[in-house]
Structure formats: C-alpha cells, structure tokens
C-alpha cells in the first residue's frame, strides 16, 4: 500500500524548497527565522525594554510595575500566536512599517491590562527601529545557533562512537586518489571529530552584539527626556540583561561584524561536513560501505540496478 504524504497547498506553491519540498527537515527553524518568529522576538525586545525602564527608579515618570502586571507583560512572549502575527500584519497595512505595527499591537494588548494605560507612552521609548531589530535578530541567531550546536554535538557523538568501533579496521589510505600507506577507518573518522570540535569551540565563543542607543547611536532622545541619566551604562546593563554583548559605538545600525564571524564559522563547519560526505562517497565507491537499500525507493529513473 502506498503511503500518502500530506503536503499542504502552501508547500506545493512555495518559492523556496526550504518551505516546500524540504519543509519536514526545516520546519523546526520556523520558530526562529519565520516572519512570525521575528515579530515574536520584536515583542520580546519591546516588553523587556519596557520592564527594564520601569525598574529604574531614576526614571521617575515611568510607572513602577506590580508583580502581577509584570507577569502579564512577560506572558505576551510565550503566548504569542499566529493570530497575534496576523493582527500585526493587519496593522502594518495601515502603517506601512513593520516595527511600528508591533508597537501599535502592544498598545492594544497593554491598554486592556489593569493600569495598562499609564504604560502606553513608554512603549518603544527613545527607540529607533534598528534598536528593536538588531536585538531581535541577535536573539534569533543566538537561539537558533544553540540548537545547531546540539545537533552538531549529536553528529560528533556518532562519529566518535564509529571511530572507536572501527579503530582496528585497517585500510589502504589514499593521497591524490592513489594508494598510499595503511590507516584505519576509525582514525579517519576521528579526524572529523577533532575538526568539528575545534570549530564548535570557535562558534560558541562568538559574542552576539547589540545596541540600544537611539536614532544615530548618540542617545539624543534619551538625553533630552532624562538628561541626568547615564544612558551609556543603562543601555549596556539592558543589553547584558537579555544575554547579549553591548556594542557601545554604532551609527543608527549595529554594524553586524559579529554576524560575519558567525556565518564564516558556519561555513567552515559546513565545509568539514562536506569533506566527510565526500569521503563517505569515496568509501562507497571503493566498496567499503554500501548504501542502505529500501525496497520502495528508486535510485534511478532508468537503471534497474
């Protein structure tokens, strides 16, 4: 009996195969990289900033939050739903601005809370859109990379087990595609364990940098509103409180040099995995390994073998 594979219409009409043919393998990344996920991270950033401001006694016009109200605000983050995302898109049709739509969405949500009206003027306080965006993207990449590292460590564990199991399995090594001196299959797999471990150390050492310093990076609006506050220190404290590293010198945008570091690290990891794949291909061609055959699968549309 042929198994019916469920594919919705959206998958079949997707422009990118990531959201179409390969959705089953990439669907877990939607919680980090979809537009809905970006909205959720923006909501998180706005809420965390509002709560942070309320906890600073020197900002005497910002209402202090009761524990109940704080919990209600923080509850918006895990409770963020696809219906919330649709509401933001609806607001964006009017604003023609995605970040402003998130701000207006939060105004609606907070206005419905007890004493919520008093908080409305301080949503998005002194922020430029990039303040919200750069933090949101940093958190997005940080969370997704932590997931990737877990998956990579599972791969390393598998390779390590195989390197031990095959430590005594002697074979002829090759250089330039030609026969060379003996090695073992276990040692060749251990090469990849070491290489991947080194690159994961580099990946995990990368600092996810962000800024919260206004329209051109100079705290202009902040200083006009509260000239006696040390906004440089306060901004750094906020960035650290959400698990990121502060970048104190920026223009309107955070320059994203750390993103280049992150992506170059991932490139090296992918190249190592590509080397592993090529070696496995060679071992199959030499008859050392055989591909697992499933009776229902077809390897060629024309060759019966």
Catalytic residues: 176, 300
- Helices 35-54 & 67-75, crossing angle to 10 degrees? 170
């Amino acid at each position: 009996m042929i198994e019916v594979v469920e594919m919705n219409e959206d998958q079949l009409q997707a422009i990118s195969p990531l959201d179409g043919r390969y959705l089953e393998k990439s669907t877990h990344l939607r919680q980090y990289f979809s537009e809905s996920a970006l909205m959720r991270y923006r909501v998180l950033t706005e809420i965390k900033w509002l709560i942070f401001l309320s906890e600073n006694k020197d900002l005497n016009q910002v209402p202090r939050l009761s524990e109940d109200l704080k919990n209600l605000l923080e509850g918006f983050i895990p409770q963020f739903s696809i219906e919330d995302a649709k509401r933001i898109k609806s607001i964006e049709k009017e604003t023609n601005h995605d970040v402003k739509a998130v701000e207006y969405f939060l105004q609606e949500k907070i206005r419905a809370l007890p004493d919520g009206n008093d908080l409305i003027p301080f949503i998005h306080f002194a922020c430029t859109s990039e303040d919200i965006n750069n933090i949101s993207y940093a958190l997005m990449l940080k969370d997704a990379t932590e997931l990737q590292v877990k998956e990579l460590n599972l791969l390393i564990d598998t390779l390590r087990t195989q390197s031990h199991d095959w430590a005594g399995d002697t074979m002829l090594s090759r250089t330039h595609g030609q026969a060379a001196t003996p090695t073992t299959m276990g040692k060749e797999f251990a090469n990849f364990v070491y290489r991947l471990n080194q690159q994961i150390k580099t990946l995990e050492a990368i600092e996810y940098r962000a800024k919260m310093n206004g329209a051109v990076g100079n705290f202009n609006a902040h200083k006009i509103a509260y000239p006696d506050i040390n906004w440089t220190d306060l901004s750094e404290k906020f960035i650290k409180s959400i698990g990121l590293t502060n970048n104190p010198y920026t223009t309107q945008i955070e320059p994203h040099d750390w993103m280049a570091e992150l992506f170059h690290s991932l490139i090296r990891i992918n190249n190592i995995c590509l080397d592993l794949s090529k070696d496995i291909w060679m071992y199959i061609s030499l008859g050392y390994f055989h591909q697992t055959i499933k009776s229902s699968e077809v390897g060629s549309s024309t060759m019966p073998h």
